[in-house]
């Protein structure tokens, strides 16, 4: 009887994994360096690819949230040219206008396309620490800063931005879409296949565990968690990141 119970638990776990697997979501290939994954009627992950002399070809994730033909963008691809493709596809294929942008932190896999967005007159919000760092690094600077948290609205639907502390970078935030139960955690969250924390040269390994714990505690109802790179999933991504930090 005990063996049968263990088998049923394992079978249920396998079924759950298959149901939530990446292939069960619609993927739209725009070009060799840009794809979209449709999560819900209102949300897409944008996946962009970049060839780095140091790391080779790798992908980066961002989020698009849509309401009534208007969209907010969270993180850009690493270049203005791919960001142009992203915005053009949203405009031409979905007939939506990007009306706002929020980067996760100051690195170019989050705001490498900010110059293009600003050329389009798209307003941007960011952690004030991100604005300060971008200013020091002589990078394009987001328009409006916030300290601990910020609530934005897209057709009366809330977009919640939070700074919980340093992790992958000292300025990294998370974005919560309550209506979709989607948490865009960015680079502080690692996908379940990650064997390491990746690049933490601009982060704080002492604060990282505390920050992740705050995020886990604050979003018990998160159904989808999106990391900055790799596969999305559920809250297990945050737990996996915790385990990597323990190592």
Q: Assess whether pLDDT exceeds 70 at residue 41.
A: yes
Choose, from 199, 202, 204, 214, the residue flagged as catalytic. 199
Domain annotation covers residue 18: no
Across the chain, mean pLDDT equals 91
Residue % of the chain over a pLDDT of 70? 90
109 a catalytic residue: yes
**pLDDT, tens digit, 9 for 90 and up, residues 105-155:** 999 999 999 999 999 999 999 999 999 999 999 999 999 999 999 999 999
40: β partners: 43
Catalytic residue at 46? no
What average pLDDT does range 211-225 have in this prediction? Answer: 98
Is residue 19 included in any domain, yes or no? no
Predicted TM-score (pTM) of this structure: 0.89
Q: Is the pLDDT of residue 73 over 90?
A: yes
Indicate whether 86 belongs to any domain.
yes
- The yes-or-no verdict on residue 206 having pLDDT over 70 is yes
- How many whole angstroms separate alpha carbon 160 and alpha carbon 138? 28
Asked if residue 163 lies in contact with residue 157, where contact means CB atoms within 8 angstroms, the answer is no
- The residue from 46, 85, 105, 240 that is catalytic is 105
Q: Is residue 17 part of a domain?
A: no
Task: Give the span between the Cα atoms of 72 and 96, in whole angstroms.
Answer: 10
Could you list the beta-strand ranges (E) of 105-173: 123-127, 144-146, 149-154, 157-162
Domains held by the chain: number? 1
State the residue range of the domain holding 242: 24-246
Instruction: Give domain status of residue 45, yes or no.
Output: yes
Q: Read off the pLDDT of residues 17-32 as tens digits, 9 standing for 90 and up.
A: 433 555 589 999 999 9
- Distance, in Å, from the CA atom of 71 to the CA atom of 7, rounded to the nearest integer, reads 45
CATH classification of the domain holding 154: 3.60.15.10
Catalytic residue among 187, 191, 235, 240: 187
Known catalytic residue at 105? yes
């Amino acid at each position: 009887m005990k063996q049968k119970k263990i088998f049923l638990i394992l079978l249920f776990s396998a079924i759950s994994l298959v149901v939530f697997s990446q292939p069960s979501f619609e993927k739209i290939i725009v070009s060799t360096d840009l794809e979209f994954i449709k999560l819900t009627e209102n949300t897409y992950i944008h996946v962009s690819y970049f060839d780095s002399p140091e790391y080779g070809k790798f992908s980066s994730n961002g989020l698009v949230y849509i309401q009534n033909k208007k969209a907010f963008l969270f993180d850009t691809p690493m270049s203005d040219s791919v960001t142009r493709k992203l915005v053009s596809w949203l405009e031409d294929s979905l007939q939506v206008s990007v009306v706002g942008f929020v980067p996760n932190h100051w690195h170019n896999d989050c705001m490498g396309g900010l110059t293009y967005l600003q050329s389009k007159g798209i307003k941007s919000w960011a952690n004030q620490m991100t604005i300060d760092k971008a200013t020091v690094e002589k990078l394009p600077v987001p328009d409006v800063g916030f300290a601990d948290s910020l609530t934005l609205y897209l057709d009366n639907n809330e977009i919640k931005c939070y700074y919980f502390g340093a992790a992958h970078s000292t300025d990294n935030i998370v974005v919560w879409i309550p209506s979709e139960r989607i948490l865009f955690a960015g680079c502080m969250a690692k996908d379940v296949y990650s064997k390491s924390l990746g690049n933490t040269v601009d982060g704080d390994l002492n604060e990282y565990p505390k920050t992740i714990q705050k995020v886990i505690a604050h979003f018990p109802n998160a159904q989808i968690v999106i990391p900055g790179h790799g596969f999305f999933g559920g809250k297990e991504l945050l737990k996996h990141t915790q385990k990597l930090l323990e190592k």
